[in-house]
Structure 1
């Protein structure tokens, strides 16, 4: 399954065994989640994860960014329906875009030329000096922009399982579930409903 930092952020809210789960409900949860995303984070942000320098204000900023991202994912999957977790409380698109852009702008980025003596010149982007929290929030926001403006956007989909609230990148055009387990649960539930309907005894007349 395709992994992307922005999608990993979006699915920190999900259902497990029928219960709503928020992996960013506290700073400890945020720290644990960031440690799991070490391969997707840039070096500076990855180095700051275990240092304990991320506090409650950073957690709130990232939760706000997540809400904006999920609102924009709901827009991206149209005309397909959004995740039912978001359907009742989506941010207006303009507000969601504003949250993402403001988060991305917390750290200025400048283009830099890199030209090693034995190689070709390349262009890179470097963030200016900033606090660890700002670097992290800005990287997550830029990941959201990359996802929503890049080639993966046309493959975004909300899982069709009623018991799932995840967005995912489809591997093929007919894929409806984020994971095979979601499809299996739906098929088992349908089979159970059909079995109940076929074995239900009719009421006696009168």
Structure 2
């Protein structure tokens, strides 16, 4: 594909030996060989460079050397499973799209995506906290803390399903953030008197962080811990809580995929035995 030179300012991770530079090219740069899209849409290209530092200083690139990715939607990735406890929901924002030969997707790569995720779980956070969250912007620091908690939760849940003891580092992260969920009830003068929740920390995003961390503590109580599952379907990395005695997969899609894989293995076994 031959395209004109496009100027851009990539933001590549400094520590990566190989960096993938993602750029969005406006419609006027397309030539006649590319599919034409509405003017408000952008098309996405990727180029892998050998040095991240070089990528940071790269100001122009011949589009003929890069891979055309096609039109990309501005909407965030759609997590394939919902309806689980908050802690599991956060862990499941990383998933595999496409099964065994698919690719890993992170649905929380930006502060906007985290804000959308919190809004989608307003019922679980409660109306009072959700209103406070929507009234205050999510900061990069808070975003980083949520990702740190997500990593700790995944490590902890994986240890649980493997029937092994979680390591101390993820437990320390969970316990540290869980402190932010501390609260008390207060009466407010009104007619009739109203009851409101007062949290020990003022930042609602820290409170939300604490509520998710506390949620996994409740999930791992003796009467619930045995219901925590990792989906056994090929290529799936999602967790779920076994809400029904016959539930074995995170979703019917994974159940179908597992049955297809089992049938394929059975066919291969019969072929070998017939030789």
User: Alignment partner for residue 6 of structure 1, among 87, 103, 109?
Assistant: 87
Contact 2:133 2:205 in 1 (8 A): no
- Taking a change above 3 Å as real, the CA distance of residues 108 and 176 of structure 1, as seen in their structure-2 partners, is closer
Aligned length: 189
User: Alignment partner for residue 100 of structure 1, among 174, 184, 187?
Assistant: 174
Larger Rg: 2
**Deviation, structure 1 residue 125:** 6.9
Please name the residue that 1:73 is paired with: 157
Please name the residue that 2:125 is paired with: 41
| Larger RCO, structure (CA 8 Å, separation 6 or more) | 1
- Taking a change above 3 Å as real, the CA distance of residues 51 and 113 of structure 1, as seen in their structure-2 partners, is closer
User: Alignment partner for residue 57 of structure 1, among 134, 141, 158?
Assistant: 141
Q: Spell out, residue by residue over 1:47-77, the C-alpha distance to the aligned partner (whole angstroms, 9 max, x if none).
A: 1443451011111101111111111112222
Q: Distance in 2 between matches of 1:72 and 1:111?
A: 31
TM-score, normalization: structure 2? Answer: 0.58
Q: Spell out, residue by residue over 1:130-167, the C-alpha distance to the aligned partner (whole angstroms, 9 max, x if none).
A: 11221121111111212122632211111111221111
Q: Distance in 2 between matches of 1:107 and 1:186?
A: 39
Contact 1:107 1:130 in 2 (8 A): no
Please name the residue that 2:97 is paired with: 16
DSSP 3-state at the match of 1:39: helix
**How large is the Cα RMSD of the aligned pairs?**
3.3
